[in-house]
Amino acid sequence: MKIIVVHYSEIALKGNNRVYFEKQLVNNIRRACPRKSFREINRLRGRIVIYLSASCDTLEVQKSLATVFGVSHFSFGLFVNKDIETLKEEGWKLLKELTFGSFKVRTKRAQKEYPLTSVQINQQVGAFIVEKSGKKVDLGNSDETLFIEIAEKGALLYLEKVKGLGGLPVGTNEAAVSLLSSGIDSPVSSYMILKRGVKLIYAHFHSQPYTNPASQENTEKIIEQLTRFQLYAKAYFIPFIDIQKEIMAKAPSALRVLLYRRYMVRLSERIAKIENAKALVTGENVGQVASQTISNIRVVAEVTGLPILRPLAGFDKDEIIERAKEIGTFDISIQPYEDCCSLFVPKNPATKASPKELYLAEKSLEMDVLLDRAIEQSEIKEFRAASIEASKF
């Protein structure tokens, strides 16, 4: 039977919680792969096996698996009887369609009661393939490797390993709210937190009609890209212009951007409460702009009791750009747009604001009604990966 063998790495370190992570990974694979492509998906010790259907489009399945966090690598192969003669014949069938000068056989035995050792299996299968092909065995730098895994009810045979995304399956950690702009940084920070198994809800702030709708439109495209890795996502599009007007009219101009960000954090915290999320996520990068000095990061963070996760804090800009290109958000992020933080920006923003300065500035602001209104007027949108059937949610 044709199969895909899926291996994970970090999940293997989870001890007594390993089964929980494995089940979530199976669930995510099942949701990501087109239903017509597989018969069943089973957990075996240390791996997951996808039993493919006769109508399976292997390229489509490969593209789906390449978006699933938690997968270390995967391989297309066969599930066969585990007697040595079958291993020889089926191993040769896998290899004979390929062009190669040398090969090796690597065997693992999950079932230690098997009458042959791994070395003995390697030797006997290898000798058979040498006889059939006339090719040589090279244990150091072979052109091809035949992998054999002896399981309880059969054997798994496969060749090439396709690299996966690694990380942890989305849904194995608690939810967080990501403050998402249509710029380069925050989509990358969202991706990196998804990789740690966190389910994300997105919060995007806009200043329409004072800015054009490009920022929101670009953000929706970015969320569509990120949803390939999460499969389903919810986003809040929050009108922020009335809050900005209040800040611009009554607060010192040098503190304007920091006040914007403090109120964005407060609003995101409210969304976190609605969605039962346990943290916030930002694309902050230490020292990149005036609002991201350590002092300013501190005064923005103090308005929430939730942890703020900043996966890009120590990245170079070039590193962030490279990752944005890899995940498919860079070309969207560089499209022209006006975001709310670029509106009413002072010429000389504060770089080392103190908590006292911000506290005194906020005393003059009448924000309770404006914050309530911003949440009430938020537009909530749901996103599903393009290849996912709605019935799976």
pLDDT of residue 52: 93
Helix 355-363 vs helix 256-275: angle between axes, to the nearest 10 degrees? Answer: 80
SS3 379: strand
pLDDT of residue 387: 58
**What would the pLDDT profile of 278-301 be if each residue is shown by its tens digit?**
999 999 999 888 788 998 999 999
Per-residue pLDDT at 346 exceeds 60: yes
**What would the pLDDT profile of 88-124 be if each residue is shown by its tens digit?**
999 999 999 899 999 999 999 977 789 999 999 999 9
Per-residue pLDDT at 152 exceeds 90: no
Contact 170, 226 (CB under 8 A): no
In this prediction the pTM is 0.90
Residue with tokens 């906020």: 362
Q: Which two tokens stand for residue 44?
A: 């075996």
| Residue from 38, 36, 31, 35 nearest 5 by CA | 38
Residues sharing a CB contact under 8 Å with residue 325, sequence separation 6 or more, in sequence order: 331
pLDDT of residue 350: 84
Phi, psi at 292, each rounded to 5°: -115, 25
Helix 118-133 vs helix 84-96: angle between axes, to the nearest 10 degrees? Answer: 50
Predicted confidence band of residue 338 (pLDDT cuts 50, 70, 90): low
SS3 81: coil
Residue with tokens 């369609």: 97
**What would the pLDDT profile of 254-285 be if each residue is shown by its tens digit?**
999 999 999 999 999 999 999 999 999 999 99
Residue 97 CA to residue 260 CA, distance in Å, equals 62
Please state, as a whole number, how many other Cβ atoms lie within 10 Å of the Cβ of residue 220.
Answer: 18
The mean per-residue pLDDT over the stretch 317-343 comes to 85
| Residue from 238, 233, 245 nearest 199 by CA | 233
Contact 88, 79 (CB under 8 A): no
Percent of the chain, pLDDT > 90?
77
Residue 163 CA to residue 247 CA, distance in Å, equals 49
Q: Which two tokens stand for residue 171?
A: 């849904």
| Residue from 266, 292, 278, 280 nearest 349 by CA | 292
pLDDT of residue 55: 85
- In 284-293, which positions are buried (b, 16+ CB within 10 angstroms) versus exposed (e)? bbeebebbbb
Residue 304 CA to residue 307 CA, distance in Å, equals 8
Q: Which two tokens stand for residue 214?
A: 């490009």
The partner residues of 178 in beta bridges, in order of sequence, read: 202, 281
The mean per-residue pLDDT over the stretch 142-167 comes to 93
Does residue 311 have a cis bond before it (omega within 30 degrees)? no
Task: Look at 383 and 58; give whichever has higher pLDDT.
Answer: 383
Domains of the chain with bracketed CATH: 2-163 (3.30.2130.30), 176-392 (3.40.50.620)
Q: Which two tokens stand for residue 320?
A: 């962030």
Q: Which two tokens stand for residue 197?
A: 């198994």
Residue 269 CA to residue 278 CA, distance in Å, equals 9
